[in-house]
Structures are given as structure tokens and as C-alpha cells.
Amino acid sequence: MFRGLDLIHGIINVLEIHNLIYCFIGCVLGTLVGVLPGLGPGATLSMLLPITLYLNPTGSIIMLAGILYGSAYGGSTTSILVNIPGEVGSVVTCFDGFPMTKQGRAGEALWISAVGSFIAGTLGVMVLSYTGPLLARYALKFGPPEYAGLLFFSLTAIVSLSGVSIAKGIGAGLGGMILSSVGVDPVTGVTRFAYGMIGAMRGIDLVPMAIGLFGISEILVSAEAGIAKIYEGKLGRMMPRGKELKKGLLASLRGTILGIPLGILPGMIPGVVAYLAYDLEKKISKYPEKFGTGVIEGVASVEANNNAVTQGNFIPLMCLGIPTGTSLAIILAALMMYGLKPGPLLFVENKEFVWTVIGSMYIGNVMLLILNLPLVGLWAKISTLPYKYLGPIILGICVAGAYSPRNTLFDVWIAFGAGVLGYVMKKNDWPQAPLMLGFILGPMLELSFRQSLSMGGPTIFFTRPIAVAFLVLAVIVLVFSVKFLKRIPKEVREESDQ
Amino acid sequence: MNFKILIEGILVLVFGLVAMIEGLRLILYRDPYVLYDPLGPGIYILVLSLGLMAVSVFHFAINYRKFPGMRKVAASKKMRVQLFSSIGILALYILLVHFVGYVVATLTFFFLELRVSGVKSWRTNVILTLVLTIVYYVIFVKFCDMVFPKGLLF
């Protein structure tokens, strides 16, 4: 049930100066990583994760969440101005955003993208506020078989919808699950894959794995690229007028309505969902042939959708403890590091924390609107910061970050190995998201699966309707994904698996 | 034949094989008194490894005739040298942290990495190296209380 007073209490908590500062830092960093091509929210979250250990839990999660939804705002700036998507979700924004810039309507594109993002972000948090407690109350009835079914469905969706090839997605997911099993077995206590190494006996920690796979590999890939362009033209009028404004706002609403439910589902990567919003807009338009030449609905719908998906992603994370993507998985890790148990009990045992984080999202969306509209020129300039400075700075943070959770150089070597592996995977079109999600969800799936079998053998799954429903859904998503992915343009799929 | 796919297939297969051997080892040496865990640690690993090996064979069978895609622009020789140098410097940094301590290792790392990344001016390089090392020392050692290996130096 929606608790209005809890939400008001949460918002009042956020208005305390230290929480406001964390929220502001998160929004600024989020916008920054959104505008910087090659540096995604996953990399930033993984690098900051060890540092947040030294901050208070509520402030840290407010900041990490701010980075995540802030990046969805910032990603559009470089897509619109220089035709380079700042992050995966903004690939489709380039389709109409950049043509609008070429027509001298960059200001309008940026305005509708920021306002559309604000609408989506705010509506998304409202849905989280209303449905979160309801879903959490329902999920309290879940036992190990239901969780095993849910995790199996989540993993299947993530690997199936991960990008260019289902086989590569499944391979990466299984690889992640095997890597997560290194160390002490959670049930019997025997060591697996240790080969006498003390470091391996302690298992592979999530932080170095995430830092390597997303931080170090991003820098290695960027070492081969580099961005030299900067937008030097005029932005033109900011706020669209008359029919353009109405069309833009309506498209933002449609993008939001499509994005929130899809954001709740695992595996729905922002780039692919953004394309679905774009495709829908094109289908219902009276002038579909004009899409791709600078149509405001093409920008508004996609950007709103992008933000709606990001906000929707928080619902399964907070209510069920299931991350639907890699960035969410890192936030899940942060929650676990603070001793908080993400899932339905979070709404019962850590009520104040949950509602403060949700409250921060309302305030963060307002901050982002203010940050993104008047300061758009500044963000465009920052997006051209050369990698010759950025690369070494980030690599230095990665090494210290990988070392910090357990104070061992074994973890730094793991981060190094994961970085090289991530680089090789990227260069050969192997998706990283299933590897990471397999690594995080693998131990949860293994434990709930083994607990279920201990409870009643393999047939237990067929005696529990919810577990059966999840298993059937997993099969459906696997079959459906083959047809579904064929409809998405290759360039969107290839960008999305990065 | 597409050799890239062949190499990918072999690497995934080897990874699956290593996991399968570990799974079999765990099944063979399973504690017979553990009755509450029918799946055991070994069967889980074995199932995953068999799945991975099946994927590698499937991936190879489907794609071995396909011509490698030309989507990604090949990096220039200069960029490749920069990339491999960065990987080498990073590995050296981790080794140096162990042997000579965090401060000296970080100074060396920033000096080399900035140079390789394209900061050509010696003055800028030295200033940035010093500033970054001090900032990182303050953040990680003083603020975050991280205990790095002392090494031979400090």
C-alpha cells in the first residue's frame, strides 16, 4: 500500500543538507558520465563503489542512484549536438536529434529532451512509490522455489535480449555463473576452483570484477578511439512553440508509458527499448517518412522512454532484489555491502532508508532539469575532455578501487584480468552484461535452487504456481527474443551489447 | 573458415572443460555424509560447464563459414601501441605497488601512462604526475584509510 506519510518523511530527510549534497553530486556525476562518450554509468558506479564504503549508506545510495538516472539525462546532449551517443540509451536519439541540430533547432531538441526526461523521471518515481510497497508485500510470500523461478526467468531474459547473438549471450551468462562459483561453496563449505590459492579460496569479489569489466575495459577501448569534435554552432530557440510543443510533450508521455513497464522487466536494455518507443512513434505518426530528418517526436519519445526505463528498473531492484541490468547490479552490491538486504523486506525493515532514496529521486529529477537546461553548453564542452588526461585518472581510481574492499592485490589482478577480458569481449561483439549479471545472480540462483531441491526434489517447481509461471515465462522469452531481436536495427543491437 | 570464430570456440570450450573437470572432481570427492544437498557443489558446476561447451560448439557450427564483419574500424598502429603500452603499464603498476609501495608505484604509473596517453610536454607531465599522486594519496590513504603494501620503499 502506498504510504504518503512515509514518502513525505523521506522527502524531508532528503532536504537535510548532507543528503542534498549527495543527491547533487550524484546528478552532476551522472550528467557528466552521460555526456562523456565511452564512460558509462556502469563504469562510474563500479569505480565509486569502494569509495562509498566510507560514506553513510543512505547518502551513498542517493548518490549512486543519482548517477544512474542522471546519466540517462546527460546522454542526449552529445547525441543531439555532435551525433555521438553519450550512453547506450541515447543511440536512437541521434536519429532525429542530430538532424534537428543541423537545421538550427538544437535548442528545441535539448529542451524537449530535458523536459521529456523530467516528465518520465517524475512519473517513474511515482509508479515506484505506488507499486513498490504493493509488489514488496506480494513478494514476501515467495519461498526458494519462487525465487529460483524468478532468477531463472531474469537470467534467461538478460542473456536472450543481450544484443547481437543469443549464443554469445548464453555463453557469457554461463561464464559469469561459473566465475561466481569460485571460492567456498555456500552450502557444503568445500572450495571450488581455488587450486591452492588463498585469494581464490576467498572467491572473486564483485567490486574488482565490475571495475575491470566496465572501468578498465572502457578506458582500453577509448584508448583506441577519442573524440575531437565539439559543437560550435548556435543552439537556437530553446522552448518549442505551438504544435511542436504539444507534439513533443505528448510523445514524451507515450515514451514514458511504454518505458516504465518495460523497465521493470529484466533484460530490457535501454537502447533496444528506446528503439521500440521510436518505432511506435513512427507507426502512429501521420508522417512516418519524415522520421530521421529531424522530427521532435523522435527525440521526445526516445529520451522520455530512456528515463522511464531507468526509473522502472528500480522497482524490481528494491522490491524483489533483482537487478535488471549491470548498473542496477552494482547498486545491489552497494546495498549488500551496507548489510541491507534488497528485496521485499527492505520496505519493512529499512522503511526510512527506502523512502529517503525514493524521495531523493523526486528532488534529483528537479535538480537534473535545472542542471541540463541552462548548462547545456557547458556539458557539450566537457564532453570533449581528451582521454589523454581522463584515461590515466580513471585507471588510477580503478586500481585503488579494486584494492579497497578486501585490501588485497589479488583483487587488483582480478580487475586487471577482467579489464582485458572485457576489452576482448567488446572488440569481438561478446556482450558483457550477461557475464556480469550471471556473476551476480548466479550464486542467488544456485542457493535458491539447491534449497528448493532440498525442500521437495525437482517436482517442487511444478507444485508451486508462481515458480511454474516464471519457468514458462523464461521459455517464452527465449523463443520470443529470436524474433524480437530481428526487428531491432543492427546498429542499435551492436551498441546495446556494449 | 573463419579463424576468429575458431579461436573463440576453442577458448570457450577450454573454459568449459576446466569447469567440467572441477565439477567432476567435486562429484567424485563429495562428502558422503552430506545428505541435505542433493544437487551438491559439483553437479551445479558440471551442468554449467556442459552448457558452456554446448554453446561453444553451437557458436562455431553456426558461424564458422561467415566472413568476419568489417563493422569495427581497425585501430591504427599508433593506437594499438598505445593500447598495449597501457596494459603493460597497468600490470607494471600492480607489481610495483607490491614491491616498492603505493607512492612510488603511483608516481611511476602516472608519469608513464600520461606520456603514453599523449601528454607530450615534460613539464605538464611532471606537474600532473605530482598533483595526481598527492590527490590520490590524500583520498585513498588519508581519507579512506586504505592500507597499501609498504614495499621496499614507502
Q: B48 to chain A: which residues are within 8 Å by CB?
A: 174, 177-178, 181
Q: Do A171 and B26 touch (CB under 8 A)?
A: no
Residue B72 within a domain: no
Portion of chain A with pLDDT greater than 70, in percent: 89
**How large is the ipTM?**
0.89
Over range B84-91, report the average pLDDT.
92
Q: Do B49 and A178 touch (CB under 8 A)?
A: yes
For A178, phi and psi rounded to 5 degrees?
-65, -45
Q: B118 to chain A: which residues are within 8 Å by CB?
A: 386, 388
Q: State the SS3 of A240-259.
A: CCHHHHHHHHHHHHHHHHHH
Tens-place pLDDT, residues B103-117: 999 999 999 999 988
Same domain, B54 and B82: no
Residue B119 within a domain: yes
Residue of A228 and A199 predicted with greater confidence: A199
pLDDT of B50 > 90? The answer is: yes
Q: Do B41 and A188 touch (CB under 8 A)?
A: yes
Comparing C-alpha atoms, which of A253, A350, A269, A279 is closest to residue A313? A269
Residue B96 within a domain: yes
Please give the residue range of the domain that contains residue A267: 4-496
**pLDDT of A53:** 75
Residue of A216 and A456 predicted with greater confidence: A216
Residue B154 within a domain: no
Task: Specify the number of domains making up chain A.
Answer: 1
Q: Is B128 helix (H, G, I), strand (E, B) or coil?
A: helix
Residue B151 within a domain: no
Comparing C-alpha atoms, which of A9, A22, A90, A137 is closest to residue A305? A90
Distance of alpha carbon A355 from alpha carbon A128, whole angstroms? 10
pLDDT of B93 > 90? The answer is: yes
Task: Specify the number of domains making up chain B.
Answer: 2
Q: Do A453 and B38 touch (CB under 8 A)?
A: yes
Same domain, B39 and B87: no
Q: B62 to chain A: which residues are within 8 Å by CB?
A: 167
Q: Does B3 lie at the interface with A, CB-CB under 8 angstroms?
A: no
Residue B103 within a domain: yes
Same domain, B17 and B51: yes
Residue B109 within a domain: yes
**pLDDT of A498:** 46
Residue B94 within a domain: yes
What type of residue sits at position A307?
N
Q: A407 to chain B: which residues are within 8 Å by CB?
A: 146-147
Portion of chain B with pLDDT greater than 90, in percent: 37
User: Average pLDDT, whole number, for chain A?
Assistant: 81
- Write out the three cell numbers for A52: 562509498
Cα-based distances in Å from A410 to A206, B9, B90, B112, B150 = 13, 28, 14, 23, 16
Same domain, B107 and B137: yes
**pLDDT of B72:** 53
Same domain, B52 and B90: no
Please give the residue range of the domain that contains residue B87: 77-143
